[in-house]
Structure 1
Amino acid sequence: MKKLSLLSLLFFFAFLSCYRNPVTGKKEFLLVSESQEIAMGKQYDPSVVASFGLYEDDALQKFINERGLKMAKLSHRPELPYEFKILDSPVVNAFAVPGGYVYFTRGIMAHFNNEAEFAGVLGHEIGHVTAKHSAKQQTSQILGQIGLIAGVVIKPELAQYAELAQQGLGLLFLKFSRDHESESDKLGVEYSTAAGYNALEMAEFFQTIKRIGEQSGQSVPTILSTHPDPGDRYTRVNLMARKAQQKVNRGALVTNRDGYLQMIDGIVYGEDPRQGYVENGSFYHPELKFYFKIPTGWNSQNSPTQFQMAPSDGNALLMLTLAQGKTLNEAQQNTVQQLQLKVQSSRRTTVNGYPALEMVSTQQTDANTQQSTAQQVIINSTLIEFQGVIYAFHGLTYQQMLSKYEPSFKQTVNSFKLLSDPAKLNKQPERIRVKKVPRTATLKDQLQEYGVPSNRLEEMAIVNGMQLTDKVQSGTLIKVLGK
């Protein structure tokens, strides 16, 4: 009888949850309504902004607002309350969350070489929204939670603590399927062509993406970490763009190279040292006036809300973030609640003269969740009261690996000190500077004339979307490095 009731409930639930996809016209199963999509976007947007920060450039922000709203009106869901924002991150990335929130990093804006490349990626991200890809992934998460309630054993991941410390940004990094990405590529071509852009440039940008990945030693950079191979996409998008242009049968399509390059002249490139930077194995934060050593050989990632460090094997995570609270005791209570910790021990101490509190914790687990002692996650936390603010170091690893990584945790925490070196405090960011070349020469020669060091020539060739051997004609605009 219970089985029959459950089956009836599921059929009823499925009936209520079917909707017609505005892009394909087909009926699909979805647990997230449009009003819920919009609410999700409004909920996540403040977290996105807090985690990455907004890039302060009124002209650039006006540009993406105008272009974004214009293209959104041509999409399959023009009625959504779209918002377009530039995040202050050097990572080459763009993404969208449900309800019409679309984000570009300053990193990707610096790598576009014309307005048409931007428009292609803009159309791609709007496509994720119109085809409800994020909402579909959220549906999968909801169904996964149903499975969890039913007693499915899920092994804890270290990364979940980083997400908890950032107020749960997991939605931003949902992995779209290859079908979703292909559909968004198609929509990117369709929308950008309808808006009057040359979508062939969208294909060209995939070549840039591929080269970024090759240069960094990764198979693909962040923007394509869950996407199809950039080389395959170049061929496919190129073909789709040509077909789309034949269908619209319109005159000259917009590329706008010079106008776009002039607009991004002066954009911050790479890490902004004012928000913290890594140099010679240490992390420095000029505005907050502290520094500490990074464990030797560990990778690191910086954001406005959190600095993360991890070894290459991924079996440990050390992060620094702000703790909520005016006192160490209050910060401890808030940390335990926020990260859902079970405290094993805690004690007062000092770190280079600053009041501190150390605690060792484990994850609070459900009674139905079975977990071996060796695989239990141990969290070593140190809260430090520094210049009226409380910072929290959290070192995470498995019980069986604690003896391996705990010395690295302690070494980093104990290196936390006041930053007073004027050279470190006054470090300025690099910026993209756009120059008109006075003579015809190879890109390599042009870059060298503007002082680009030899070990960064290939990097700047990628930023320009060219090869070092390409001939650059007199009067052409190129990107170089400056302050």
Structure 2
Amino acid sequence: MKKYMFSAAMAGVLLLFNFCATNPVTGKKDIVLMSEEQEIALGAQSDPAVLAQFGLYEDKALQQFIQQKGQAMAAVSHRPNLKYEFKVVDSPVINAFALPGGYVYFTRGIMAHFNNEAQFAGVLGHEIGHITARHSVQQQSKSTLAQLGLITGMIISPELAQMGNELSQGLGLLFLKFGRDDERESDELGVEYSSKIGYDASQMADFFQTLQRQQESSGQMIPDFLSTHPNPADRYATVHKLAEDWKKKENLTNAKVGRDSYLKLIDGIVYGEDPRQGFVENSVFYHPELKFKFPVPSGWAYQNSPQVFQMAPQDGSAMMNLMLVPGDNLEAAAQTLLKNFNLEPVESKSVTVNGLPAIAVVADQKQEQQVIRTLTYIIRYGNYNYSLMGITTANNFNNYFQTFSNTMQNFAELTEPDKLNRKPERIRIITVPQSATLSQVLQNNNIKQDRLEEFAVLNGMQLSDRVEKGTLLKVVSQ
């Protein structure tokens, strides 16, 4: 038996050698379970899902800008052979992310928070760095190998099997270290790539301060040891030093910042939630473009995306979602829904919801440990089939039935003019008419007292900072 186990172990070692590849950035050998062709294919397959989830932000000049700067930076990167794509997606969240194979996405939320081209370029280089260093491929490979090792251990040792859950959690913490290392390496690459196309990479460090202040003001600070990203304050000093080193290497005596040009570019960008895509006010969800509304249960959290609106209580014991279901009629839509979610109908009936034809269906999904029970109202309105589905366990169903029903039976046509005509806030770039503190300038432009700090962060400044006449600043209007 020991002989066979030794042979299997040797076979595993040989297999790992076959999966070694030279890292394009470090030149060292990495264990990866994916070829470059597979990496490119994975990105290409995932790109439509990202666009379906967020939507492409409709601003031709902004899309051209990210493509132009992205392609220039990709050309000086460690993997210029890839076919890169750069896109701004329609999300208010402050985020940027990359898919394997050359796909980079910036949200309109992060575009709104940059205050010059150099800050943008540094983060763009950081995301390209994740691709050139094959970070996502490495992490997937490490995760796969770890899971394989854990499963093998469970088969060989019954005592180890009893610790399976604890070991799985431990693996997550183990690979967190690699995540931080990846982020640091991408910071270094962001500095390198942005410097190589002439930008002042120290500006990326300044943007980390904006991120830190944003996290603090929103109450979303993440403890350093639980975050895959290094603490913004720690990154500040490191990136500043790296930027100075690269200025010397590239002889950048007049590195580009591009403050005014960038601010003019984002003049008019949607800021925050876009009510045209639906918004919640006083525990009611309104959708001005599709002209419907329904109540959100009191105390429930919610999340909105172009594909689905989700609601759930804080304890996660139930959830509801709204989505569109294809079908020429209600019966066809109901069959599609049951099939797609592998639901077995318990009962169904035709109903009317505020004058709209609908079908109410109770259906189960049987799982190994329990039965999930759903109540769904499929409502025909404006040539669309709207599905409002409530989901919980069969044991909890009676407790949530009235909550589900109240939301579904109050789906109605939206007619209130103030909701139908709600406009999003947009960033407006103003020229300061006379020197004053930032606080004074913002108040003179109708920024309310409780939002002053928000707009100080947005402008990357302190409220007490003196702003000189002629300076460009961000404010908002509808």
TM-score class, shorter? 0.7 to 0.9
Offset, 1:104: 0.6
- Please say if residues 42 and 100 of structure 2, whose CA atoms lie closer than 8 Å, have aligned partners that are also in contact: yes
1:381/1:5 CA distance change after superposition, 3 Å: farther
Contact 2:346 2:364 in 1 (8 A): no
Q: Which residue of 1 aligns with 2:411?
A: 416
Q: Following the alignment from structure 2 to structure 1, what is the Cα–Cα distance between the partners of residues 135 and 78? A: 14
Aligned to 2:346: 345
TM-score w.r.t. the length of structure 2 is: 0.87
Is 1:386 paired with 2:388? no
**Counterpart mapping for 1:12-411 below 5 A:** 12-140=14-142, 142=144, 177-219=179-221, 226-339=228-341, 341-343=342-344, 345-350=346-351, 351-363=353-365, 365=367, 371=369, 373=370, 377-398=372-393, 401-411=396-406
- Compared CA separation, residues 313 and 27, structure 1 to 2 (3 A): same
Spell out, residue by residue over 1:344-399, the C-alpha distance to the aligned partner (whole angstroms, 9 max, x if none): 5241242333333344445554xxxx53x4xx554443322222111222333445
State the partner residue of 1:439.
434
Q: TM-score, normalised by structure 1?
A: 0.86
CA–CA distance in structure 1, aligned partners of residues 338 and 181 of structure 2: 40
Q: Secondary structure, in 3 states, of the residue corresponding to 1:182?
A: helix
| Counterparts of 2:147 and 2:241, CA distance in 1 | 41
Would the aligned equivalents of 2:366 and 2:372 in 1 still touch at CA under 8 Å? no
User: Contact conserved, 1:113 with 1:465, CA < 8 A, in 2?
Assistant: yes
Query: d(CA) in 2 for partners of 1:176 and 1:387?
Result: 50
Higher RCO (CA 8 Å, separation ≥ 6 residues): 1
What's the offset of the Cα at 1:60?
0.8
- Equivalent residue for 2:443, pick from 440, 448, 451: 448
SS of alignment partner, residue 187 of structure 1? helix
Aligned length: 455
SS at match of 1:108: helix
Work out the CA distance in 2 between the residues paired with 1:52 and 1:177: 25
Q: Displacement, 1:37?
A: 1.1
SS at match of 2:121: helix
* Partners of 1:411 and 1:57 in 2: CA distance: 40
SS in 2 for 1:177: helix
What percentage of aligned pairs have identical amino acids?
Answer: 52
Between 470-479 and 303-312, the greater mean CA deviation after superposition: 303-312
Residue 405 to residue 205, structure 1, CA distance change in 2 (3 Å): farther
Cα deviation, 1:11-51, whole Å, max 9, x if unaligned, reads 45323221111111111111111111111111111111111
Tell me, yes or no, if the aligned pair for 1:360 and 1:379 is still in contact at 8 Å: yes
Residue aligning to 2:460? 465
Alpha-carbon shift at residue 400 of structure 1 (Å)? 5.4
RMSD: 2.9
- Mind listing any 5+ residue stretches in structure 2 that lack a counterpart? 156-160, 166-175
Letter in 1 for 2:275: P
Report the alpha carbon displacement of residue 423 of structure 1 after superposing the two structures with TM: 1.8
Distance (whole Å) between structure 2 residues aligned to residue 74 and residue 404 of structure 1:
60
Q: 8 Å contact 2:311–2:319 — kept in the other structure?
A: yes
Residue 254 of structure 2 aligns to a residue whose secondary structure is: coil
- Are the counterparts in 1 of residues 187 and 239 from structure 2 also a CA contact under 8 Å? yes
- Give the aligned partner of residue 171 of structure 1: none
Q: What are the superposed Cα offsets for residues 311-347 of structure 1, whole Å, 9 maximum, x if unpaired?
A: 33344332212223333343334334433x3425241
- Asked if the contact 2:319/2:391 (under 8 Å) is kept, the reply is yes
